[in-house]
């Protein structure tokens, strides 16, 4: 499920490898080899240093190719599934989520993601999109919280879970907008400050904090460029989540992405919907204020 080249995931079986090759057709062989080597067998000492720049260029070309045809994004299938889930009567109470208030009124989905996270008086806490979806499923449909947060994220090759599929659809309904969460209520200001403290907090056997990788521009882990998340420009990547990840062949949501970071930091996996996750997402969204949303994204 995980590979040691940090931010990236390995390919899991032959069909995924085939799909990967299809996607990278037309790219220089060196690049295909390079990515596979970087991802699968960390440290296959094959390529010469002079080819480093060429590898970088090839990776950029790959990213452009993924973006050129927006309808090729498999995440759109999950968004469709999410829309159906939202509108279908489910749970012990056999009702749909169309009475769920994402902040702009019951059932109002258009542009809701662009204004999250926000404080919800009915819940008495600040929530990001996924945490709000958990809350709605519990309070409206009667699902059990413990069931919803047990194994809440997909493994390699599995489809994104129901909450993630709905989050993908709802985020896609803010596609083309900009991050505009106000985050000006006292509870919202407090959680942003909490998120900043967590972002800077170094602990664990590796002494890592989020800042270890994400507080400086132009750095990379292995060949993977790192987002400079403490600036508006660097936090632009926030607008690309939820995203379909080619290398793990499923949609990954922001709550899931944080789990990945904590795995790398040698800390326990954050609980979905916990105050810790909401605080980090609120802080990062604040940094991304005004940045464009292009969700769902498509990542390597």
Partner 1 sequence: MKTIAFAAAALLAVGISGAAAQQQSKSADKPVTVSAAKVDAVVKAGLPAFPAPPEEWQPRLIPDETMKICSATHNNPPKAQFEAIEKAEKAKIQYPADGNFMGDWKRGERIAQSGYGLRFTDYPARNPNGGNCYACHQLTAAEVSFGTIGPSLLGYGKLRDFKDSEVKAAYEKIYDSHASFPCSLMPRFGANKVLSMDQIKDLVALLMSRDSPVNK
Which residue ranges make up the site for partner 1 (CB under 8 A)?
A: 1-2, 4-6, 34, 37-38, 42-43, 45-49, 51-52, 55, 186, 189-190, 192-194, 196-209, 211-213, 215-216, 218-224, 226, 230-231, 262-264, 266-271, 274-277, 279, 286-287
Collect all residues with Cβ–Cβ distance below 8 Å to 54 and sequence separation of at least 6.
Answer: 28, 30, 31
Closest CA to 239 of 161, 181, 193: 181
Query: In whole angstroms, how close is the CB of 104 to partner 1 at the nearest point?
Result: 25
* 261 is known as an active-site residue: yes
Q: Which is nearer to partner 1, 116 or 284 (CB)?
A: 284
| Strands 224-225 and 243-245, bridge-based pairing | unpaired
Question: Could you tell me which residues are beta bridge partners of residue 225?
Answer: 220
How far apart are CB 18 and partner 1 at their closest, in Å? 23
Burial of 190 (0-12, 13-18, 19+ CB in 10 A): middle
The beta strands (E) that lie in 64-148 are given as 118-120, 125-127
Q: Between 49 and 121, name the residue whose CB sits nearer to partner 1.
A: 49
Smallest separation, CB 118 to partner 1 (Å): 16
Using CA atoms, how far residue 257 sits from 58, 161, 237, 251, in Å, is 25, 14, 12, 10
Tokens 């599995």, residue? Answer: 158
Q: CB-based contacts of 268: which residues, under 8 Å, 6+ apart?
A: 262
> Nearest Cα to 212, choosing from 194, 195, 199, 196?
199
Shortest approach of partner 1 to residue 210 CB, angstroms?
Answer: 11
Distance of CA 210 to the CA centre of its chain: 15
Query: Which pair of tokens denotes residue 212?
Result: 């270890």
Of 93 and 203, the one with the shorter C-beta distance to partner 1 is 203
Cα-flanking dihedrals φ and ψ of residue 40, to 5°? Answer: -85, -55
Nearest approach in angstroms of CB 48 to partner 1 is 7
Q: Which of 5, 39, 213, 261 is catalytic?
A: 261
Catalytic residues: 261
């Amino acid at each position: 499920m995980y590979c040691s080249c940090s931010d990236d995931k390995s390919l899991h079986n032959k069909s995924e490898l085939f799909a990967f090759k299809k996607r990278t057709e037309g790219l220089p062989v060196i690049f295909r080899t390079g990515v596979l080597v970087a991802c699968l067998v960390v440290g296959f000492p094959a390529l010469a240093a002079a080819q480093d720049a060429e590898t970088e260029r090839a990776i950029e070309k790959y990213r452009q190719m993924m973006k050129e045809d927006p309808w090729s994004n498999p995440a759109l299938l999950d968004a469709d599934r999410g829309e159906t889930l939202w509108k279908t009567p489910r749970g012990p109470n056999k009702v749909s989520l169309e009475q769920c208030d994402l902040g702009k009124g019951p059932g109002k989905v258009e542009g809701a993601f662009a204004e999250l996270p926000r404080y919800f008086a009915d819940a008495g806490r600040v929530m990001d999109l996924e945490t709000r979806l958990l809350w709605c499923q519990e309070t409206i449909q009667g699902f059990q919280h413990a069931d919803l947060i047990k194994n809440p994220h997909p493994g390699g090759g599995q489809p994104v879970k129901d909450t993630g599929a709905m989050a993908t659809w709802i985020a896609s309904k803010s596609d083309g907008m900009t991050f505009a969460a106000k985050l000006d209520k006292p509870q919202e200001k407090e959680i942003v400050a909490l998120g900043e403290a967590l972002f800077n907090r170094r602990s664990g056997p590796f002494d890592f904090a989020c800042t270890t990788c994400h507080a400086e521009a132009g750095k990379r882990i292995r060949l993977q460029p790192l987002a400079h998340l403490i600036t508006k420009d660097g936090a632009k990547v926030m607008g690309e989540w939820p995203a379909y990840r080619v290398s793990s062949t499923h949609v990954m949501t922001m709550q899931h992405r944080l789990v990945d970071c904590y795995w790398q930091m040698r800390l326990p996996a954050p609980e979905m919907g916990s105050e810790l996750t909401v605080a980090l997402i609120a802080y990062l969204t604040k940094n991304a204020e005004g940045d464009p949303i292009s969700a769902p994204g498509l990542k390597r």
